[in-house]
Amino acid sequence: MRAVVQRVSRASVEVSGGTVVRAGRGLLVLAALHRDDTDTDLDYIARKIVGLRVFEDAAGVMNCSLEDVKGDLLLVSQFTLYGDARKGKRPSYGEAMPPDRASARFHEFVALCKTLWPRVETGVFGAHMMLDLVNDGPVTILLDSRRLF
């Protein structure tokens, strides 16, 4: 599993011209499932996200987590994180989990995150979404359950 974690002051998701979800200060996470992901991969990424200390403490040091700042968590499925453009100019998505399996697994991931932190919102799986966000910092962290980066 891969995730792009962005610290945001606000974020929203729009589908078909209407806003479906809004989040305040917290994290916007773009998440992709690998075709071979297991419960262990989902658990690793969920715990990393919720425990990630990327918010500033009173001394201005990034030392606080979502829990510390009572932040929002917005999860958006994005299979293109597994796009491989090393050959040619058109990315291959062969490493991404097929949509029929990925939908169920993404919803499992969301449920897992909610057990760790209750303030979770999501985009619409498989929909063409427009994201609006203000990246605070900017702070952007890349996570991979196989620890490739």
In this predicted structure, the answer to whether residue 7 has a pLDDT above a threshold of 80 is yes
Q: Which residues have a catalytic role annotated?
A: 78-80
Q: How confident is the model over 78-101, as a mean pLDDT?
A: 96
pLDDT, mean of residues 22-41: 98
- Residue 123: exposure state from Cβ atoms within 10 A (0-12, 13-18, ≥19): buried
Domains with residue ranges and CATH for the chain: 2-144 (3.50.80.10)
For residue 148, the model assigns a pLDDT of: 85
pLDDT value for 99:
96
Is the whole model's pTM more than 0.75, yes or no? Answer: yes
Residue 132: name the closest of 31, 57, 24 by CA.
Answer: 24
**What's the pLDDT score for residue 149?**
77
Task: State what percent of residues in the chain have pLDDT above 90.
Answer: 98
H helices of 34-124, in order, are 39-51, 66-69, 99-116
| More confident: 149 or 18 | 18
Angle at which helices 99-116 and 39-51 cross, to 10°? 40
Beta carbons of 83 and 93 less than 8 angstroms apart: yes
